[in-house]
A and B are shown apart, each in its own frame.
Chain A
Amino acid sequence: MKAPTPIIEIRDGKKSFGSFVALENINLSIHEGEILTLLGPSGCGKTTLMRLIAGFEGLTSGTLRVSGEDVAAVPPERRPVNMVFQRYALFPHLDVFENVAFGLKVKGLAKSEITERVKRMLHIVQLESLANRYIDELSGGQCQRVALARALVNEPKVLLLDEPLAALDLKIRQHMLAEMKRIHAETGATFIYVTHDQDEAMILSDRVVLMEKGRIVQIDRPEDMYARPKSLFAAKFLGETNLFETAVADSGAQGTVAKTASGIGFLSRNGVGHKTGDKVVVSIRPESFSFANNDEGSSQKTQGQVEDVVFIGSRSFYTVRLDDQAKVRIQVQRNGRVKPPEPGSRATIYWDADNVVMLPQA
């Protein structure tokens, strides 16, 4: 079966500003209707990628297709794309209502329809009472919601959202996240989303595009990217992790075994393709350790001294100093079944081969 045409497809995309290369080797197919998150450190090129898709910038080389059509010569106003700008870019000479109505007015819709759609949108972003305020009379979070409404009201095929919730507090952020999921489900639009917030990326996205210094380093479903990072950078960037410098001791059908200099061994079923003697970094998430051997025989273990415990609601974070002085962070769900060790006591920690990820050294 032939895969449907991606709504957006970038092949060998490169973007330079003068001698500075902002994006390179960009190969990305975005499927119709998905929520795709661009994740990466500040300055890695997320906004630049969005501006290319919106049409504010042109690729230095490579191709960009929208619904299969090369759009190199299509100006932003004729692309089926709307953008929520990182710095809002609201119109100061218009009030909230007129800002949201701008796109519909340009399209030449009937006044009654404009009014109706704008009102519905303002209701969704909870700004009905501020419809007649000017932009400089709004708070940062309110501006952000106007920016969101101004783009969403046009019901574009592709919506580009550049950190649209960054200035909102937790409560309204959760509300807006839920609203965005609902609007997404209702409209079937494709969302391309930039965020620094991993939780947001996890909650919202079908796929995450991880970027570093202008390159895409991994594209995966969020849970896969979290569980199977393909690089040290990915392991460190997404969530918290424990890293061990090791060398491969054995590689067979069972999996790969790697050992630290002090002799702690890790068996991994994920580390295929490593040769004996290769230097690899082992990554294990805090929640993949436990103080109880709850699996049948597959668990590996080592010992250490419990140094510190922090309780965060239903979870506790332990710091355990291993016998080779390496520190390990362990997250334990408090369920009362297993009695966790006291600070200062010695403890055995267990982990499962499925959760051991072996990564090439950076």
Chain B
Amino acid sequence: MSLSKPVTGSLLSAPTVLYMAVFFIVPSLILFAYSFWSAASYQVVPDFVLKNYLGSLTSPLFWKVTFNAISIGLWTATITLILAIPVAYYLVYVARSQTILYLILLTWFSSYLVRIYAWRTLLGTNGVLNTVLLQLGIIDHPVGAFLFSSFAVTITLVHIYLPFCILLVVASLSEIKRDLIDAARDLGTSSIGAFCKVIAPNAANGLIGAFMLTFILVAGDYVTPQMLGGSSGQTTGLLIADQFRKTGNWPLGAAQAFLMFLVSLAIYFALLTAGRMSGLVVHRPRKKKEA
């Protein structure tokens, strides 16, 4: 017995589609509906109001934390990607071994929270960083701003998401054969030139993907900002979480979640457009294969 292609295709994808429908699309739709309801004294009232959206859009706090989230997201994604590329390059083209990759992934086995606490120890007023800087005479009194700031949040998030980003970059570089680097060098480019002229353009979609995925995860992270962000390092994620956990204003939280989603989308397209205009991302229409 053989099944036609579309039938096989739908059978193979059915479990995923079903799962996504039940556990992602349905809740999202419910949340979307919520975002138009109203809340009064911890009660959610079915309604159709735009005040959740309008209120957020006109709230300076919302914009401040969103700006924070975006800037932490962009900084973290940028630093992570810049750090991930040489490591991934080394793993794919030089070491050609899986062991180091596994070691990098091993860091994920340690608890996220434990690592955040570890950073608190490192960055605190009596922490390692301050002690070292004091000893070196670079500063003359402990700097409190290392902790509870966007800076602390960013460096902690870089460390948390770096293995993830390395994995994504390794995946996209693995598609590009080593031969291409050899060919480029054979034709006169240096190894950095070969990376810029051959590897980067071919990996651009993957690299932008890695950047965006890191950005989205980081911008939505609310645990690290909560633990290390202090009052200046608050993000939209935290604000949204508070609507659900503390204020009990689910409709407002839902609306803010959708606004954040739109902002992320806008940044994604802005990046893609920038990539295309700079010629880094090659977008060419695929000719349809004639049957």
Contact = CB atoms under 8 A, between A and B. Distances in A.
A151 B182 CA distance: 13
Contacts of B246: none
A91 B188 contact: no
Contact of B282 (A55, A93, A154): A93
Nearest to A150: B187
Contact of B284 (A51, A82, A102, A134): A134
Interface in B182-232: 182-191, 193, 197-198, 201-202
A83 to B, nearest CB: 5
B140 interface: no
A91 to B, nearest CB: 6
A103 to B, nearest CB: 4
A154 B188 CA distance: 10
B182 A102 contact: no
B180 interface: yes
A82 B186 contact: yes
Contacts of B185: 55-56, 75-77
Tier of interface size on chain B: 20 to 34
Nearest to A92: B202
A83 B179 contact: no
Instruction: Determine chain A's interface SS by DSSP, over half rule.
Output: mixed
B193 A106 contact: yes
Nearest to B188: A106
Interface in B135-183: 177, 179-180, 182-183
A87 interface: yes
B187 A103 contact: yes
Nearest to A91: B198
B82 to A, nearest CB: 22
B287 interface: yes
Given A93-B201, A107-B188, A76 B284 contact: no
Nearest to A137: B287
Contacts of B191: 75
A46 B63 CA distance: 64
Interface residues of A, number: 26
A80 to B, nearest CB: 11
Nearest to B203: A93
A81 interface: yes
Contacts of A150: 183, 187
A47 to B, nearest CB: 11
A102 B202 contact: no
Nearest to B176: A92
A83 B186 contact: yes
A89 B188 contact: no
A309 to B, nearest CB: 48
B201 A56 contact: no
A85 B188 contact: no
Interface string A70-102: 000001110001110101011111000000001
A75 B189 CA distance: 10
A197 to B, nearest CB: 23
A234 to B, nearest CB: 31
A106 B177 CA distance: 21
Contacts of B183: 83, 85, 89-91, 150
A85 B182 contact: yes
B187 A89 contact: no
A192 interface: no
Interface of A: 51, 54-56, 75-77, 81-83, 85, 87, 89-93, 102-103, 106-107, 134, 137, 150-151, 154
Given A77-B187, A87-B179, A93-B198, 6 more contacts: A56-B182, A75-B190, A77-B189, A81-B186, A82-B186, A102-B184
26 contacts: A54-B182, A55-B185, A56-B186, A75-B185, A75-B190, A77-B186, A77-B190, A82-B186, A82-B187, A83-B182, A83-B186, A85-B179, A85-B182, A85-B183, A89-B182, A90-B183, A92-B202, A93-B198, A93-B201, A102-B184, A106-B197, A134-B284, A137-B287, A150-B187, A151-B186, A154-B187
Which are the 9 A-B pairs with shortest beta-carbon distances? Answer: A89-B179, A103-B187, A89-B183, A106-B188, A76-B185, A93-B201, A93-B282, A77-B185, A77-B188
